[in-house]
């Protein structure tokens, strides 16, 4: 005797209608026969297209479909059923090889999805890290520049009567380098070296640094130590290592008469050779404790007389090619030029155009001439 549950299940099966979809006639036959023996009412279709047509005209409770049917796929039928007949149960029937293929396909799909997710995550991560790095670099750059600005200002303050000297020689040096051409890669080093060239003077006693008269031999010896002191102060700072060489060599002279190493000619770093001309000109055209400023023309004549002796000939020629407008621009900028901007590549730093030279220059503190 059948139980109540078995009777109910049998009644449900009898009410159910199943669509068998398979391109193999023998498989269709076996499945429909088995289902019929179990009391299930079923129909058969040879491909998804035929199945869809039958679904449009007949109500089914379930679909049993093969996975691969020639050019058609059970997945196509599954998609169609899920879209238009969401209440129909769907069974995918397939052979062992098909199951393995399905597993491989799913694994590949899963892997592809993971790779795509990782790619998107990686791109986001790289973009975010790049932004963070740029922000850190900008902050570091600003921090470096602020440190440099403070150091240079400290040097100028210490060396009171030569206020603006560091900015002027920096601007002159860059202008000479522009006239020489081909030194774009060294401008940053030149700018930083020029800006900090006398940092070693921070360690020179006031009695010598600010002495109104000429220095005696011993005092001069102490004063000359400022290049090595400055070099020692700066050489260990990675982003200033090249500039340290300019500091060490800024009093070397073309004929070997300079200090501290008595270098000559091209043994003197190019930036130091350029700087030496700019520094000498500015020193001559500035009031010093022991003498008054020379005129620009007088200083230019002295520089010219040192061509090939104290100074590198080609650099003197470049210096003499710096015109009056540029000199006035430099003089105006000596009070206001942003070291931050100059070192980061804005060579004039103070953003003046040539048309604005005269008005700004006349307001500035021009060296006596």
**Which stretches of the chain bind Fe ion, using CB under 5 A?**
198
Q: In angstroms, how far apart are the furthest CA atoms of the chain?
A: 132
Closest to Fe ion by CB, 193 vs 367, is 193
- In the complex with Fe ion, which residue's Cβ is closer, 198 or 282? 198
Q: Find out whether 363 and 292 touch, Cβ atoms under 8 Å.
A: no
Tracing tokens 């069974």 back to the chain, one arrives at: 91
- Helix-helix angle 296-305:313-320, to 10 degrees: 160
- Least Cα distance to 360 among 339, 335, 338, 340 occurs for 335
Closest residue to Fe ion in the complex (CB): 198
Of 28 and 201, the one with the shorter C-beta distance to Fe ion is 201
Min dist CB 271 to Fe ion, Å, is 14
DSSP letter at 64 equals E
**Phi, psi of 236, deg, nearest 5:** -85, 0
Q: Cα separation of 91 and 246, whole Å?
A: 82
Give me the residue label for tokens 């050779």: 273
Cβ-based nearer residue to Fe ion, 93 or 223 = 223
Closer to Fe ion by CB, 22 or 198: give it: 198
Helices (H), 68-95: 74-84
What is the tally of helices (H) and strands (E) in the chain? 17, 6
Q: Which is nearer to Fe ion, 51 or 170 (CB)?
A: 170
Q: Kind and range of the H or E element at 90?
A: strand 89-93
Q: Which is nearer to Fe ion, 200 or 333 (CB)?
A: 200
Judge whether 45 and 51 are in contact, CB under 8 Å. Answer: yes
SS3 of 232-270: the string is: HHHCCCHHHHHHHHHHHHCCCCCCCCCCCCCCCHHHCCH
Q: Which burial class, exposed, middle or buried, applies to 103 when counting CB atoms under 10 A from its CB (0-12, 13-18, 19+)?
A: exposed
Q: Smallest distance from the beta carbon of 226 to Fe ion, in angstroms?
A: 6
Q: How far is the CB of 310 from Fe ion (least distance, A)?
A: 14
Q: Which is nearer to Fe ion, 278 or 294 (CB)?
A: 278
CA–CA dist 289, 331 (Å, integer): 21
Least distance CB 118 / Fe ion (angstroms): 58
**Smallest gap from residue 247 Cβ to Fe ion (A):** 8
Spatial distance between the Cα atoms of 20 and 61, rounded to a whole number of angstroms:
11
Nearest approach, Cβ of 250 to Fe ion (angstroms)? 6
CB of 198 to Fe ion, least distance (A): 4
Task: Output the six-digit token pair for 349.
Answer: 């730093």
Closest contact distance (angstroms) between CB of 231 and Fe ion is 11
């Amino acid at each position: 005797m059948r139980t109540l549950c078995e009777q109910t299940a049998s009644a449900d099966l009898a009410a159910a209608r199943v669509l068998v979809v398979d391109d193999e006639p023998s498989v269709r036959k076996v499945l429909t026969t088995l289902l019929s023996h179990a009391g299930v009412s079923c129909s058969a279709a040879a491909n998804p297209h035929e199945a869809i047509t039958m679904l449009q005209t007949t109500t089914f409770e379930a679909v049993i479909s093969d996975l691969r049917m020639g050019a058609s796929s059970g997945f196509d039928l599954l998609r169609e059923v899920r879209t238009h007949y969401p209440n129909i149960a769907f069974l995918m029937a397939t052979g062992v090889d098909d199951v393995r293929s399905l597993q491989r396909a799913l694994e590949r799909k899963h892997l592809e999805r993971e790779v795509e997710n990782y790619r998107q995550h990686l791109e986001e991560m790289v973009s975010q890290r790049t932004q963070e790095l740029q922000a850190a670099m900008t902050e570091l750059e600003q921090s470096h520049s602020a440190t440099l600005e403070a150091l240079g200002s400290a040097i100028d303050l210490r060396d009171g009567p030569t206020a603006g000297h560091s900015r002027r020689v920096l601007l002159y040096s860059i202008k000479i380098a522009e006239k020489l051409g081909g030194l774009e890669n060294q401008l940053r080093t030149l700018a930083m070296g020029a800006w900090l060239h006398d940092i070693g003077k921070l360690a020179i006693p006031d009695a010598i640094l600010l002495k109104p008269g000429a220095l005696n031999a011993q005092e001069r010896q102490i004063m000359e130590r400022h290049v090595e002191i400055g070099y020692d102060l700066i050489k260990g700072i990675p982003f200033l290592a090249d500039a340290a060489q300019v500091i060490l060599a800024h009093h070397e002279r073309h004929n070997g008469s300079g200090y501290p190493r008595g270098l000559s000619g091209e043994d003197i770093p190019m930036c130091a050779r350029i700087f030496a001309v700019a520094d000498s000109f500015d020193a001559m055209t500035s009031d010093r404790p022991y003498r008054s400023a020379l005129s620009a023309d007088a200083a230019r004549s002295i520089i010219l007389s040192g061509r090939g002796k104290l100074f590198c000939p080609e650099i003197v020629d470049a210096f003499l090619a710096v015109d009056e407008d540029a000199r006035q621009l430099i003089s105006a900028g000596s009070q206001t030029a942003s070291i931050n901007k100059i070192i980061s590549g804005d060579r004039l730093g103070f953003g003046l155009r040539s048309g604005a030279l005269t008005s700004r220059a006349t307001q500035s503190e021009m060296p006596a001439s």
